[in-house]
Amino acid sequence: MTERGPRPARPEDGVAWITGASSGIGRELARFLLDEGWTVALTARREAELQAFAQHYPAERVFVIPADVTDAPAMAAALARIEAEAGRPVALAIANAGVWRRMGLSDFDAEAFAHVMAVNVLGVANMLAAVLPGMRARRLGQIGIVASVAGYLGLPRASVYGASKAALIHMASSLRFEAAESGILVQVINPGFVATPMIAANTASKPFLLSAEAAALRIQRGLAGTGFEIAFPRPTVWLLKLARLLPWRWFFALGALARGRG
């Protein structure tokens, strides 16, 4: 039985806006969308990296709009600038900006926790607050929220990163109900380990590691459909989803064994 509801956005509907577009998944996804025929607006704090990417494409196809996602007025201004310069509305919004930080018992820090939440959660909220009114008025739009499989359940030393991604999964699933009634397609994107600058400092094991290009290709394919979740790679996704079904006692026991303490 196929799911009914809003359709995916198309290049003729307007502009694709990507945050966190200066590197990693955001930049590679921008490349794929441009090849697909989209006009793309790129947002990040590092304008030089955005300009370096944009110079390879016609000026009318790529708009460099630097902004800090944690600044709500700046994000609203960025949207206004995109739609004024492109002469078209934002039809596809990819909330991809994020930061990674390991945090456990010994280095738990409230200030660092707040910073990660400000970027990973409030940054997404600021983008959504900017684009949702227009999408609702047009009864057309598509939103992709980049979370992570780390948001499925608690993992060692992921007390802040996992919590931020769990919040995004919850946010996306909650908004999906009303969004569908307004003609807006909301999807959550849950990658596993992806080789990006964001996790370069992570020295832990990274099973089933994907390149940013491979991850972006999977996201592009998922955005062409209407399913709620775009998650990969499959072994990581299914392993963690099965772990969610375990009683807590079993889950923590297996976790202790995996860390060599069982």
Alpha helices of 36-160 — where are they, by DSSP H?
Answer: 47-54, 72-86, 110-117, 123-138
Please state, in angstroms and as integers, the Cα–Cα distance from residue 158 to each residue in 52, 83, 89, 222, following that order. 33, 38, 37, 26
CA within 13 Å, CB half, 181: 4
* pLDDT for position 23: 93
* pLDDT for position 85: 97
Peptide bond into 233 cis (omega under 30): yes
Residues 100 and 161: beta-carbon distance below 8 Å: yes
152: annotated active-site residue: no
Residues 9 and 185: beta-carbon distance below 8 Å: yes
- Tell whether pTM > 0.75: yes
- Identify any residues that bridge with 43 across adjacent strands, giving them in sequence order: 19
* pLDDT for position 207: 74
* pLDDT for position 258: 63
Residues whose CB is less than 8 angstroms from the CB of residue 234 and which lie 6 or more positions away in sequence, other chains included: none
Residues whose CB is less than 8 angstroms from the CB of residue 90 and which lie 6 or more positions away in sequence, other chains included: 14, 15, 16, 17, 41, 79, 82, 83, 131, 134, 135, 141
* pLDDT for position 2: 42
Residues 83 and 73: beta-carbon distance below 8 Å: no
Q: Identity (one letter) of the amino acid at 85?
A: E
Could you tell me the two tokens for 95? 């909330």
Q: Residue 15: helix, strand or coil by DSSP?
A: strand
| E strand intervals along 79-217 | 90-95, 141-146, 184-191, 194-195, 210-211
Phi, psi of 106 (to 5 degrees): -75, -25
Q: What is the residue whose two structure tokens read 């030393």?
A: 157
* pLDDT for position 255: 77
pLDDT per residue, tens digit, the chain (262 aa), is: 345 689 999 999 999 999 999 999 999 999 999 999 999 999 999 999 999 999 999 999 999 999 999 999 999 999 999 999 999 999 999 999 999 998 988 999 999 999 999 999 999 999 999 999 999 999 999 999 999 999 999 988 889 999 999 999 999 999 999 999 999 999 999 999 888 776 666 656 677 789 999 999 999 999 999 999 999 999 999 999 999 999 999 998 887 776 654 3
Q: Residue 160: helix, strand or coil by DSSP?
A: coil
Residues 58 and 33: beta-carbon distance below 8 Å: no
Rounded Cα distance between 223 and 208, Å, is: 22
| E strand intervals along the chain | 15-19, 39-43, 62-64, 90-95, 141-146, 184-191, 194-195, 210-211, 229-232
Exactly one of 63, 161, 193, 232 is catalytic; name it: 161
Neighbour count for residue 135 (Cβ, 10 Å): 26
Could you tell me the two tokens for 72? 């709500």
Could you tell me the two tokens for 56? 């390879």
* pLDDT for position 17: 98
